Amino acid sequence: MTAALRETLGVLAAMPGVRAALAATTSDGLPAATVAAIDVDADALAAFATAVLTRTRRANASAGYGDTRHLSLDAEHGRLFVATEGELALVVLAERDVAAGLVRVALQRALRNIQ
């Protein structure tokens, strides 16, 4: 894990309401680096986030909508955010009442920082 990536994930994980921040490669769904609360299954999170991302990417490509850049999923007890550029996906798992707009901006900034 590079220092820049570690620092980036640390910043994301320190946001109020965020339970996990990880970087994963979209081709295999494996986490490359993780900063997460102890009760979060980072492997499962990375696998699920990248799988959903891959499906929606293909669907968007079929529809001619271009590259998929950001994804957010609302569930009963939490929210999932994914920002992607090329093969890299940054994933954030957060509480239900997290400030979604702030997370979105932070993810976009984080992607720029580590490119």
Binding site for other proteins (CB under 8 A): 39-41, 44-45, 47-48, 51-52, 55-56, 58-78, 80, 93
Closest CA to 87 of 114, 59, 62: 114
Q: Of the two residues 9 and 83, which places its CB atom closer to other proteins in the complex?
A: 83
Shortest gap between Cβ of 32 and other proteins (angstroms)? Answer: 19
Q: Of the two residues 25 and 54, which places its CB atom closer to other proteins in the complex?
A: 54
Shortest gap between Cβ of 3 and other proteins (angstroms)? Answer: 29
Q: Of the two residues 5 and 82, which places its CB atom closer to other proteins in the complex?
A: 82
Shortest gap between Cβ of 9 and other proteins (angstroms)? Answer: 18
Closest CA to 6 of 19, 25, 23, 18: 23
In angstroms, the CA 57 to CA 93 distance is 20
Shortest gap between Cβ of 7 and other proteins (angstroms)? Answer: 25
Closest CA to 15 of 85, 84, 110, 112: 110
For residue 35, the surrounding DSSP H or E stretch is strand 31-36
